[in-house]
Amino acid sequence: MSSAPIALALHGGCGTLPPDELTPAEWAESRDHLAEALRAGWDVLKRGGRSLDAVEATVVVLENSPHFNAGHGAALNAAHEHELDSAIMDGATLSAGAVAGAQRIRNPVKAARALLERNEAILLIGPAADRFAEEAGLVVVENSYFTTPRRIDMLRRMKAHKASGTAASEGEKHGTVGAVACDRHGHLAAATSTGGYTNKPPGRVGDSPLIGAGTYARDGVCAVSCTGMGEYFMRAVAGHEIAAQMSLAGRSLDEATQAMVFDVIGKQGIGAGLCAVDAAGHVVVPFNTVGMYRGFVNADGDCYVGTHADLEFRGTWDRN
Amino acid sequence: MSSAPIALALHGGCGTLPPDELTPAEWAESRDHLAEALRAGWDVLKRGGRSLDAVEATVVVLENSPHFNAGHGAALNAAHEHELDSAIMDGATLSAGAVAGAQRIRNPVKAARALLERNEAILLIGPAADRFAEEAGLVVVENSYFTTPRRIDMLRRMKAHKASGTAASEGEKHGTVGAVACDRHGHLAAATSTGGYTNKPPGRVGDSPLIGAGTYARDGVCAVSCTGMGEYFMRAVAGHEIAAQMSLAGRSLDEATQAMVFDVIGKQGIGAGLCAVDAAGHVVVPFNTVGMYRGFVNADGDCYVGTHADLEFRGTWDRN
């Protein structure tokens, strides 16, 4: 077995994460699901598997959890429906797959992965994405499968904000899940999945399914998955800009990602976060908000799960 | 009136452009329409108008012409329908708007522009894009408005290729229109519009409407609009990569665009072209195929329209 570093990082969305948004039991469960998602990806990596499989496995766990804005538990749009976006990218080949505006795919990241493997269209939208998933043998569900009581309540609150002209908190607005990984062969991969933001206009697509914006991976440089108001990441072409800062301007992963989160996006007053890994297996999970659902296992096997700055779990996982 | 250079470039798609594809009268008319599109944008620029208005005006003429794969004359997908993609970006503010999978907007670039001005969602897809355009007061049409006899014939030929396993020529496959401009205030802008490629899967979205892939503009650096098999430009994040090569690695517009067209994309055996302008008003229209519908007016007022390497028109236009 090669001694190349393996590493994995994830996020489950950034924002204010108001403590009273969830019960203590729900907070504990959301952290458990972050750890479970990390474990799913880490199990792939430590047995010598591909980073592409690891990020998919990690994102599937987060999509299946009701606590994150992707898959089951995704945000409702202004028409009381779910429109789901996801992308996955293989840093080794720059192959990619993505879906946007999907309404029936239980795990959108699996459809993105199937498109990557098909190697024809990278991005399929709307009912065509749903049909593709069904034809590819993936599980399709009714749109209501994705709905949780919490998202119904959030939509009600967002519509009340809109009607009364009050501002919504970052915590009420969005969320996204994503993962990045470096495998034993030094290959990088990134995946992202989201329901967008609560009360979004139908048909709106953010940065998550766009290669180079919310999702990007290139071997030898970095893999990135972003969370925050997508339009800002789209204008910044955030994922590819981080890679360009590293590959063309000699910046480190820390420097390039801090600049994106705190300067490029943060100075516009926008909550932002991301998870990223470089070719040496160094992982970062920067965010400029009160909290971000996040976790990583680094090249030393140090495991970390956190939500707010002071609510963290640390441990060490076996690399072999 | 400032003496800052003004410049404009456009493309109408690259490929083999087989001479027998059009009658001599049709070839002449397609060149006339390229010149008319240039003139529409140039009129905006020379009266001191904005690059954003210039690229929109140019693309509208190309969308209205039956000779180019955008708007009227757009390619048919595998379901015998038109799904139209467009984007526009303002290099001064990095604001952008885009539509994908639109089926009823007569001029998709106008819907992209309206989204840019609305400054909420950057990208709207499918029926939501059509509804947005209608609500914004833009002209909506039946999907059949976009169909021309030539596109019906091309779809028949592509389906025959698929059935018989023969290869389609580049000329049969795709096409896109786009424009870039630099105005008297030094602001850059880019716009792109396309029907995708003939016989594309329904729901497939290429690089054209994706900010940083087929369409990108940033003041002080460059504006770019790409044409060719979109998936390759998406993986390369082509527009933003060209800007990064210039801003972070000190490459010239010529070097960065040649590298993209001939090395990054060309070495994968893929036909590619683009139009681009830098902050000094220098314009380029590189392509690696037999021909590309293209034209520009440079900072000296030199006007150029071409299709194949040996079919060109040159002149000089008044800058004031």
Task: Check B201 against A128: CB less than 8 A apart.
Answer: yes
To test the contact with chain A by mutation, choose from B248, B260, B264 the residue with the greatest count of A C-beta atoms within 10 A, namely B248
How is residue A318 annotated by DSSP? -
Residue for token pair 């997908």:
B77
Beta pairing, strands A222-228 & A215-218:
antiparallel
Report pTM.
0.95
Burial of A142 (0-12, 13-18, 19+ CB in 10 A): exposed
Closest CA to B8 of B244, B191, B213: B191
Q: CB B126 to CB A241 under 8 A?
A: no
Q: How confident is the model at residue A317 (pLDDT cuts 50, 70, 90)?
A: low
Q: Which residues of B touch A90 (CB under 8 A)?
A: none
With an 8 Å Cβ cutoff, are A121 and B201 in contact?
Answer: yes
Instruction: Determine the average pLDDT of the residues in A18-25.
Output: 85
Instruction: Tell me which residue in A96, A120, A205 faces B125 most closely, judged by beta carbons.
Output: A205
Q: Residue B97's closest CA among B138, B141, B143?
A: B138
Q: Which phi and psi (to 5°) does residue B306 adopt?
A: -150, 160
CB A215 within 8 A of CB B210: no
- pLDDT at residue number B22: 84
The answer to whether B202 contacts chain A (CB < 8 Å) is yes
Minimum-distance CB partner of B121 among A96, A201, A210: A201
For A78-131, the pLDDT digits (tens) are: 999 999 999 999 999 999 999 999 999 999 999 999 999 999 999 999 999 999
Are B204 and A234 in contact (CB < 8 Å)?
A: no
Q: Rounded distance, CA A112 to CA B118, Å?
A: 30
Give the range among A274-288, B28-42, B300-314 with minimum mean pLDDT.
B300-314
Q: What is the CA radius of gyration of chain B?
A: 18
Q: Is the pLDDT of residue B289 over 50?
A: yes
Query: Average per-residue pLDDT in chain B?
Result: 93
Asked whether residue A318 is domain-assigned, the answer is no
Q: Which residues of B touch A202 (CB under 8 A)?
A: 128
Please report the pLDDT score of residue A310 as a whole number.
60
CA distances from A18 to A22, A244, A271, A275, A289 (A): 8, 35, 14, 21, 11
Instruction: Write out the E strands in A6-162.
Output: 7-15, 84-90, 96-102, 123-125
* Cross-chain Cβ contact B210/A205 below 8 Å: no
In a domain, A75, yes or no: yes
> Could you give the count of Cα atoms lying within 13 Å of B166 in the half-sphere of its Cβ?
9
Tokens of B148: 């021309």
A contact residues 67-106, partner B, Cβ 8 Å cutoff: 94-96, 100-101
Residue A133 has pLDDT above 80, yes or no: yes
CB contact B118 to A (< 8 Å): no
Adjacency order of strands within the sheet including B177-182: A204-205, B123-125, B96-102, B84-90, B188-194, B177-182, B7-15, B291-297, B302-308, B312-316
Q: Please, what is the Cα angle at B140 between B139 and B144, to 5 degrees?
A: 130
Residue A180 above 50 pLDDT?
yes
Cβ distance of B124 and A203 shorter than 8 Å: yes
Q: Do A212 and B202 touch (CB under 8 A)?
A: no
**Rounded-to-integer distance, Cα A289 and Cα A228, Å:** 10
Determine the Cα–Cα distance for residues B81 and B216; give it in Å rounded to an integer: 28
Residue B316 confidence (pLDDT) above 90 = no
User: Which residue, among A187, A185, A193, A245, has the nearest Cα to A215 in the 3D structure?
Assistant: A193
Confidence of residue B260 (pLDDT cuts 50, 70, 90): very high
Nearest chain A residue to B121, by CA = A204
Q: Token pair for residue A198? A: 């609560």
Q: A1-5, A264-268, B181-185: lowest mean pLDDT where?
A: A1-5
* B235 contacts in chain A (CB < 8 Å): 94-96, 122, 211
Mean pLDDT value across residues B1-16: 83
Is the pLDDT at A45 greater than 80, yes or no? yes
Q: Output the six-digit token pair for B174.
A: 């795709």
Assign 3-state DSSP to chain B and report helix, strand, coil percentages, each to 5: 40, 25, 35
Annotated catalytic residues of B are 176
| Residue B245 near chain A (CB below 8 Å) | yes
What is the C-alpha separation between B277 and B270, in angstroms, rounded?
A: 23
- Choice among B26-35, B70-79, B164-173 with the minimum mean pLDDT: B164-173
- In the prediction, which pLDDT does B301 show? 84
Cα dihedral B276, B277, B282, B283 sign? positive
- Residue pair B132/B111 in contact by the 8 Å Cβ criterion: yes
Pairing assessment for the beta strands A188-194 and B177-182 based on DSSP bridges: unpaired
pLDDT band at B1 (very low <50, low <70, confident <90, very high): very low
In a domain, A50, yes or no: yes
Q: Which pLDDT score, from 0 to 100, does residue B319 have?
A: 59
* CATH code where residue B283 lies: 3.60.20.30
* Token pair for A98: 């993505």
Among A2-16, A212-226, B55-69, B202-216, which is the least confidently predicted range?
A2-16
Cα(B91)–Cα(A143) distance, integer angstroms: 39
What is the number of other CB atoms lying within 10 angstroms of the CB of residue B138? 18
Asked if A120 is an interface residue toward chain B (Cβ–Cβ < 8 A), one would say: yes
pLDDT score recorded for residue A15: 84
CB B194 within 8 A of CB B70: yes
Distance CA(B71)–CA(A302), nearest Å, equals 55
Amino acid A172: pLDDT: 55
Closest CA relative to residue A115, chosen from A56, A75, A58: A56
Parallel, antiparallel or unpaired: strands B96-102 and B123-125: parallel
Contact B125, A125 (CB under 8 A): yes
* Dihedral angle, C-alpha A162, A164, A166, A170, nearest 10 °: -30
- Asked whether residue B179 is domain-assigned, the answer is yes
Closest-CA distance of chain A to residue B313, Å: 37
Whether A213 and chain B come into contact, CB under 8 Å, resolves to yes
The answer to whether position B25 is within a domain reads yes
Asked if B212's CB is within 8 angstroms of A234's CB, the reply is yes
- Owner of token pair 């995704």: A74
Cβ contacts from A onto B, under 8 A: 134
DSSP 8-state symbol, A97: E
Q: Give the pLDDT confidence score for residue A146 in this predicted structure.
A: 98
Tokens standing for A108? 């959108």
So what's the pLDDT on residue A1?
A: 43
The DSSP bridge pattern shows strands A222-228 and A272-278 to be: antiparallel
> In this model, does residue B134 exceed pLDDT 80?
yes
> Could you tell me what percent of chain A has a pLDDT over 90?
82
pLDDT band of residue A171 (cuts 50, 70, 90) is low
Q: How many CB atoms lie within 10 A of CB A144?
A: 8
**Residue-wise pLDDT tens digits, B39-98:** 999 999 999 999 999 999 999 999 999 999 999 999 999 999 999 999 999 999 999 999
CA distance B146 to B70: 8
**A254 reaches B (C-beta below 8 A):** no
- B263 interfaces chain A, CB cutoff of 8 Å: no
Using DSSP, state whether A42 is helix, strand or coil. Answer: helix
B298 touches B282 (CB < 8 A): yes
CA distance to partner chain B, nearest, from residue A27 (Å):
31
Tell me which residue of A209, A221, A189, A185 sits closest to A54, measured CA to CA. Answer: A189
The shortest C-alpha distance from B19 to chain A (Å) reads 29
Domain that holds residue B223: 7-310
pLDDT of residue B3: 55
Angle between helices B108-118 and B126-135 (to 10 degrees): 80
pLDDT at B320: 55
Range with lowest mean pLDDT among A154-168, A195-209, B133-147, B202-216: A154-168
Closest CA to B108 of B233, B193, B40: B193
Reply yes or no on whether the pLDDT at A195 is more than 50: yes
List pLDDT tens digits, range A65-90: 999 999 999 999 999 999 999 999 99
Q: How many domains does chain B have?
A: 1
Interface test with A, best of B235, B251, B260 (most A CBs within 10 A): B235
Among all residues of A, which ones are annotated catalytic?
176
- The pLDDT of A162-178, averaged and rounded, is 73
What's the distance, Cα to Cα, between the start and end of chain A in Å?
9
Which residue in the set A126, A204, A213 is minimally distant from B101, CB to CB? A126
**At how many degrees (to 10) do helices B238-249 and A238-249 cross?**
40
* Three-point CA angle B314, B13, B153, nearest 5°: 120
Could you tell me if residue A288 is inside a domain?
Answer: yes
Long-range Cβ contact pairs of B161-170 (< 8 A, separation 24 or more): B162/B199, B169/B15, B169/B16, B169/B18, B170/B14, B170/B15, B170/B16, B170/B271, B170/B289
In this predicted complex, what is the ipTM?
Answer: 0.95
